Copies of this chain bind each other. A is one copy, B any other.
Amino acid sequence: MSLRPNGGGALGMLNGTMPRWQERVEANPVADFVDYCLRGVGQVVFMNNPVTGLLILVGMFIASTWLGTAAIIGLVVSTLVGILLGMDRALIRAGLFGFNGILVGAGLSLFLAPEWDWVVIVWIVLVSGFSSILMATLATLFATWNVPPFTLPFNFATLIFLVAALQLANGQLGPLVNPDAVGAVGAEIETTLRATETGGDVGNLEGWANAVMRGISQLFFANSLVAGSLIIVGIAVASRIAAGFALVGSAVGMLTGLALGADGVAIYNGLWGFNSFDACLAIGGVFYVLTYRSAALAVACAVATAVLFGAIAAFLVPWGLPALTLPFCFGTLAFTIMKYTTKKLIPVEPEDITTPEEHLRRHRAAKAAARDGSGAQTQPA
């Protein structure tokens, strides 16, 4: 329908949502399935692009083979369940029944133990399958306000399993789930940036670089500079604007953590960045046409999301559970549900979302058409 003018040559073809590629692979069921699985990976960062997805997966495998494998299991199962349930094939093709599954697989690979365990794999299969039911249900709920459920299906499915596992003999919980009494421990927080609890202080530049790039990788449960870099390259393949806001968002998350006086180990390892980067990217060009105002709103959303990370992490202390991407979901929902209450921002409807660049092009074309249209009235017939 909409023209997606990709630049010439092979590299240009990778740009945007790659519609010509999709038309080509649709003929082959296996290639088609692989295509929308990879698009599902990209959809975690709102990029409906298989090359983005591939680069992210490579980053995950570089961080850990088990992480990458578990992620693929979740991705494939949730996509298959979407097909089995008879969900809209266009949504499946856009990867919308894969992006929760990959996060379920990746998340459970980190919080359950041991690695490569068949019981853990069974739980990944069941929980990622359930995430597709929740995707259909939450998409229906949120359609009332014309917003998507973001990664809430992943968060709900994963947290439901993890909290239940606390009191189950076969729950396979790893050491990262660690219930504790809540304390007002503010005064005891060690805020200097360092790699581990016992490690020495690192310089500011080293600390900031790690916080920002590990923040990018932590969205996919990797803690790796290389994975972070590959993910940024993957996003940039589809959209340079999105890649820019990802970096800005991760930095804003880190700075918010520093300003609030958060634990320096958590900041160094990117825990204050991964929710904010995805929220910043979503507001800065994806759900609103990029303007100075939406760029400012994206930064505000990254700050709010970082505070939400602190809040949800502290709220979950009694059960020892991770905040996952709940901060991103609630932060981004808060800044998108309000979209019709202001005339100073230009929302992009969920069904029209492609890339920030194309949103800008469309908006400029619409403005130019409106101008020409009104101009035409003054011209002789």
Contact = CB atoms under 8 A, between A and B. Distances in A.
A260 B170 contact: yes
A369 interface: no
A303 B262 CA distance: 40
Contacts of A171: 186, 260-261
B318 A170 contact: no
Interface in A325-351: 333-335, 337-338, 340-345
A189 interface: yes
A300 B345 CA distance: 43
Contact of A186 (B161, B167, B262): B167
Interface stretch (A50-58, A172-180, A247-255): A172-180
B177 A345 contact: no
Given A161-B311, A173-B186, A184-B173, A338 B167 contact: no
B179 A166 contact: no
A170 to B, nearest CB: 4
B170 A85 contact: no
Number of identical protomers: 3
Contacts of A191: 169
Nearest to A153: B334
Nearest to A186: B171
A219 interface: no
Given A86-B345, A160-B307, A168 B260 contact: yes
A86 B347 CA distance: 14
Contacts of A62: none
A262 B167 contact: yes
A130 interface: yes
A184 B189 contact: no
Contacts of A177: 184
A165 B171 CA distance: 32
Given A168-B186, A259-B170, A160 B341 contact: no
A3 interface: no
B140 A338 contact: yes
Contact of A341 (B136, B308, B344): B136
Contacts of A134: 334
Contacts of A11: none
Interface in A136-169: 136-137, 139-141, 144-145, 159-161, 163-169
6 contacts: A87-B341, A136-B342, A140-B341, A167-B189, A182-B319, A184-B320
Interface of A: 85-88, 126, 130, 133-134, 136-137, 139-141, 144-145, 159-161, 163-173, 177-179, 181-187, 189, 191, 259-263, 300, 303-304, 307-308, 310-311, 313-315, 317-320, 333-335, 337-338, 340-345
